[in-house]
Amino acid sequence: MLVSLLYQVTRRLLAVPTVLLRRDTSKEAELLVLRHENAVLRRQLQGRVRYEPADRLWFASLSSLIPRRRWAKVFPITPSTLLAWHRKLVARRWDYSRRRGPGRPPTQAAIKKLVLRLAHENSRWGHRRIQGELARLGHPIAASTVWQILHTAGIDPAPRHTGPTWREFLTAQATGLIACDFLHIDTISLHRLYALVFLEHGTRRLHVAGVTAHPTAAWTTQQARNLATDLGIRMDSLRFLIRDRDSKYTDAFDAVFQAEDIEIIKTPVRAPKANAHCERVVGTLRREVLDHILILGEAHARQVLATYQRHYNAHRPHRARRQLPPQAHGHPPPVLEPASRRVLRTRILGGVINEYRYAA
């Protein structure tokens, strides 16, 4: 509005000398144009010439005072450029985008975070099911908005109809899972021993059932019975046993657990990731103990593994349990003045492993 008003005032002021001095009007206008062009060029000695809004207003006002045949010699712009300026001026005059009120407010960041959390924790929920859960929590939000949030995050808004993956199954059923696997040990005399280990997924509690040089099906079944006796009432909380398809796991071995209403789950052939937790604890046994000790024989291997089992269950922190050992139920209270307390070290297995605690 202001630019249009200035343009009209300038043209009317320049029209006065046109009436009084019609003969010299065109010449004076040419001089004015050239002088202004020189002023513009002095401002920009290098690069492309850029006209400011005041320059455009001045040239547009002087354009009517110069004959059309002189435009090519006098004016630095073409008539098409002048018309383009006018179109932009008209478009700006009728542009109401800045006068519009605010549209629909954006979705709050907390709501977006909650939508993504519901999607990650419930893979079988689609965007409409998530919308319903949000409405129940007191967050009225359109289904299309939920769809857009999931789509932007790279999550399929449609519900998943296939079964859970192995990782999702193990996570969901962790408190009722126990897994087993064989671990081989090479002694100093190059004889091979075998240890049967069990791992409770929920607590990460390790059980070294036994060590032998000849793991037969009968021996394996007897170790399963010993484990059931040691677990006692904790067997009631277990629902699944994960094992591979080794021939030493016979029907008699499975019957020990099936008698406690524990279902046997066999891993696919050559799929160690299906029993990932047990494979990991076998690797931990190697990295932390067996790779640093020369095993003399079966009795020595049994003693080393029993010692490490006590350390693993009672002292060693686990990331899956917020750095708590399997037998711990909570972190100790924070130490207010650690500088005044003495830290004691307990050497395990001759110093292969160290345990630390504050002196009483």
What total of structural domains would you count in the chain?
Answer: 3
pLDDT at 1: 57
Please write down the long-range contacts of 85-91, taking CB distance under 8 Å and 24 or more positions apart: 85/56, 85/60, 86/60, 89/3, 89/4, 89/7
Is 179 exposed, middle or buried, given 0-12, 13-18 or 19+ CB atoms closer than 10 A?
Answer: buried
Q: How many CA atoms lie within 13 A of 26 on its CB side?
A: 9
Place of tokens 């350390």: 311
Q: Do residues 166 and 185 make contact, with C-beta atoms less than 8 angstroms apart?
A: no
The single-letter DSSP state of residue 243 is E
Q: Is residue 311 part of a domain?
A: yes
From residue 11, how far is each of 24, 61, 73, 81, 217 by CA, in Å? 17, 5, 22, 19, 108
Q: Find the range with the poorest average confidence among 128-132, 196-200, 212-216.
A: 128-132
The β-bridge partners of 343 are 358
pLDDT at 161: 57
Q: Is residue 234 part of a domain?
A: yes
- Same domain for 92 and 129? no
pLDDT at 17: 57
Top-confidence residue, 112 or 38: 112
- Same domain for 308 and 200? yes
Residue 14 has pLDDT above 60, yes or no: no
In 3D space, the residue among 64, 73, 87 whose CA is nearest the CA of residue 37 turns out to be 73
Residue 206 has pLDDT above 90, yes or no: yes
Q: Six-digit token pair at 2? A: 């202001």
How crowded is residue 149: how many other Cβ atoms within 10 Å of its Cβ? 22
Q: Six-digit token pair at 99? A: 């006068």
- Same domain for 308 and 212? yes
Q: How many CA atoms lie within 13 A of 109 on its CB side?
A: 0
What's the average model confidence in pLDDT over 87-92?
Answer: 79
Domain that residue 232 falls in: 169-321
User: Which residue type sits at 258?
Assistant: Q
Q: Is residue 340 part of a domain?
A: no
Q: Is the pTM of this model over 0.75?
A: no
Top-confidence residue, 218 or 160: 218
- Same domain for 28 and 125? no
Q: Is residue 342 part of a domain?
A: no
- Same domain for 92 and 27? yes
Top-confidence residue, 229 or 50: 229
Top-confidence residue, 267 or 66: 267
The single-letter DSSP state of residue 337 is -
Distance between CA atoms of residues 195 and 77, nearest Å:
92
Top-confidence residue, 131 or 102: 131
Distance between CA atoms of residues 359 and 342, nearest Å:
6
pLDDT at 221: 96
Residue 233 has pLDDT above 80, yes or no: yes
- Same domain for 302 and 186? yes
pLDDT at 39: 67
- Same domain for 116 and 208? no
- Same domain for 179 and 317? yes
Distance between CA atoms of residues 253 and 28, nearest Å:
112
pLDDT at 100: 61
Q: Six-digit token pair at 143? A: 């289904």
Q: What confidence tier does 213 reach under pLDDT thresholds 50, 70, 90? A: very high
Exposed e or buried b per residue across 107-132, where buried means at least 16 C-beta atoms within 10 angstroms of its C-beta: beeebbebbbebbeeeeebbbebbbe
Q: What confidence tier does 336 reach under pLDDT thresholds 50, 70, 90? A: confident
Q: Is residue 49 part of a domain?
A: yes
Top-confidence residue, 140 or 93: 140
pLDDT at 178: 94
Top-confidence residue, 264 or 84: 264
Q: For the chain, give the mean pLDDT.
A: 83
Q: What confidence tier does 126 reach under pLDDT thresholds 50, 70, 90? A: confident
- Same domain for 141 and 54? no
In 3D space, the residue among 230, 239, 176 whose CA is nearest the CA of residue 203 turns out to be 176
Q: The domain spanning residue 242 has which CATH number?
A: 3.30.420.10
- Same domain for 186 and 70? no
- Same domain for 308 and 235? yes
Q: What confidence tier does 16 reach under pLDDT thresholds 50, 70, 90? A: low
Q: Do residues 131 and 146 make contact, with C-beta atoms less than 8 angstroms apart?
A: yes
> Could you read off the pLDDT of 253-272 as tens digits, one per residue?
999 999 999 999 999 988 88
Instruction: Enumerate the H helices of the chain as residue ranges.
Output: 2-20, 25-43, 53-62, 71-74, 79-93, 109-121, 127-136, 143-152, 166-172, 217-231, 251-258, 276-288, 298-314
Q: Do residues 272 and 279 make contact, with C-beta atoms less than 8 angstroms apart?
A: yes
- Same domain for 311 and 190? yes
What's the average model confidence in pLDDT over 211-239?
Answer: 94
> Could you read off the pLDDT of 285-331 as tens digits, one per residue?
999 999 999 999 999 999 999 999 999 999 999 888 888 899 988 88
From residue 160, how far is each of 146, 177, 287 by CA, in Å? 16, 25, 39
pLDDT at 89: 76
pLDDT at 53: 74
What's the average model confidence in pLDDT over 180-197?
Answer: 96
Q: How many CA atoms lie within 13 A of 293 on its CB side?
A: 24
